[in-house]
Amino acid sequence: MSKEAEIILDGKSYKFPVIEGSEGEMAIDIAKLRDLTGYVTLDTGYKNTGATKSAITFLDGEKGILRYRGYPIEQLASKASFLEVSYLLIYGELPTTSQLEIFKDRIMKHTNLHEDIKKIFDGFPSSAHPMGVLSSAVSSLTAYYPGSIDQNANDEEVDLTIVRLMAKLPTIAAWSYRNSKGQPLMYPKPKLGYCENFLYMMFGHPNEDFTLDPVVVEALNTLFILHADHEQNCSTSTVRIVGSAHASLYSSIAAGINALWGPLHGGANQEVIEMLEEIQASGISTKDYIAKVKTKEVRLMGFGHRVYKNFDPRANIIKKACDDILNKLGVNDPALAIAKELEQAALSDPYFVERKLYPNVDFYSGIIYKALGLRSDLFTVMFAIGRLPGWIAQWKELRDAKEPIGRPRQIYTGYTERDYVSIEKRK
């Protein structure tokens, strides 16, 4: 017999269906709640609210499980390429050799940007944060590809928009970085792989040979995969809610980039490295820093997660990769030792244990990005490139399911009706 939930309001009983996800996740379907009872639910921060049904990513925060389309993140991170994972997220299945080849060729063919987009970079001061530049440039793609706004676009046209975005985001990121440094822009090399081409555009020079370090390529590939999707987090929910208004893919992703930039979300990776460098520069002991965290003078950035209450599987992989990559690159970064000390101190401290605070994906990723030669304000840009296929998959799922516009309710707590007071009578 299917389960039901009973809600008794003002002495009257109402029954609501209980639905179960494929991994046994249970939910009370309250779609008819307001119609039947006049009540709404209140859940600030959506801590208990399922906003959609989704078949893309499964996450169990208590058990530290993360799977894309059923495949464990540990397997994907160690065995797959980022484009393979992107295909999996967007189209639902791992690609065959020829599907992957076609996907890669299509993407690499579209990596160039319209020449006029360079003027957008010129319009920003060199001190501009690259996340602001990234979201603006992505927004501008609606102007270069107006067909992307068309709500009646067929699946083929939508797919072209998807391919263009996957292709152009790394070029936008690399060109905005080069522009901020006054360095010549490097045109994409479609023959290279996705990660390889990005590194070439970031660090190559027109008058020098460029040698790719396989350790760096592999590190980037792993980091992109680990960031590729994370179900209904803040930026993904933003993408979905903007997309639900039938905004274009480019506009929805630009909104997601802005949400990701926030220091409580993807912006935390920049904050972590700056925190570690500040600890190093000030000479404060990790014990004293933890004491400041506990009095809430500062937050331990890169710690804590809304859903992971045991460990973040991505952080476990990244921590191991961090040691390995720094060793292989011969980098000795004191930030790593400080991070490990902080982690150890926090994990044995009741403040963190009671609140179930563990290192999240951002705690060690910045140390790797730094070792790869990236400036700290670019760390969240790396996150955005990695997260792009997930955002696209979620936007596509919403579109295919013809989900209604996202429009939460509220509990109004302001004044009840009162009469307008003319300005000379106001106190």
- Contact residues toward ligand ACO (CB under 6 A) are 45, 233, 264-266, 268, 293, 299-306, 355, 357, 360-362
Q: How far apart are CA 218 and CA 77, in angstroms?
A: 10
**What crossing angle do the helices spanning 249-261 and 379-400 adopt, rounded to 10°?**
140
Report, in Å, the least distance between residue 176 CB and ligand ACO: 22
CA distance 72 to 58: 9
Q: Would you say 171 or 236 has its CB closer to ligand ACO?
A: 236
204 residue type, one letter: G
> Is position 362 annotated as part of the catalytic site?
yes
DSSP, res 424? G
Residue 229 tokens read as 């999707």
> Considering 362, 377, 400, 419, which one is annotated as catalytic?
362
Query: In the bound complex, what is the minimum distance in angstroms from residue 253's beta carbon to ligand ACO?
Result: 17
Q: Which backbone phi and psi does 58 adopt, to 5 degrees? A: -110, 135
Identify whether 419 is a catalytic site residue: no
3-class SS at 150? Answer: coil
Name the minimum Å distance from CB 45 to ligand ACO.
6
Q: What is the DSSP letter of 28?
A: E
- What is the smallest separation between the CB atom of 168 and ligand ACO, expressed in angstroms? 23
User: Which residues, other chains included, contact 389 with Cβ-Cβ below 8 Å and sequence gap of 6+?
Assistant: 85, 86, 89, 90, 166, 228, 229
Question: Closer to ligand ACO at the Cβ: 130 or 266?
Answer: 266
| R_g over Cα of the chain | 23
From CA 290, how far away is CA 285, in angstroms rounded? 9
Which residue, 111 or 233, is less far from ligand ACO as judged by CB?
A: 233
Minimum CB distance to ligand ACO, residue 295 (Å): 10
CB of 11 to ligand ACO, least distance (A): 35
Q: What is the dihedral of CA 239, 240, 243, 245, to 10 degrees?
A: -120
- What is the distance, to the nearest Å, from the Cα of residue 385 to the centroid of all Cα atoms in its chain? 9
Q: How far is the CB of 394 from ligand ACO (least distance, A)?
A: 15
User: Under 8 Å CB-to-CB from 64, ≥6 apart: which residues?
Assistant: 308, 310, 311, 312, 313, 316
Paired with 359 in beta bridges are 303
Of 128, 110, 130, 223, the C-alpha closest to 175 is 130
Cα 184 to Cα 114, 176, 195, distances in angstroms? 16, 11, 20
With respect to ligand ACO, which residue has the nearer C-beta, 108 or 300?
Answer: 300
- Kindly tell me which of 250 and 379 has the beta carbon lying closer to ligand ACO: 379
Query: 164 vs 230, which CB is nearer to ligand ACO?
Result: 230
Neighbouring residues of 426: CB distance < 8 A, sequence distance ≥ 6: none
Angle, helices 334-347/286-294, rounded to nearest 10 degrees:
50
Minimum Å distance from CB 347 to ligand ACO? 13
Select 117 or 241, whichever has its Cβ closest to ligand ACO: 241
Residue with smallest beta-carbon separation from ligand ACO: 304
Q: Which of 265, 305, 312, 333 is catalytic?
A: 305
Nearer to ligand ACO, 200 or 391 (CB): 391
Euclidean distance between CA atoms 88 and 390, whole angstroms? 10
- What residues contact 381, with CB distance under 8 A and at least 6 apart? 130, 131, 134, 173, 177
What residues are annotated to the active site? 305, 362
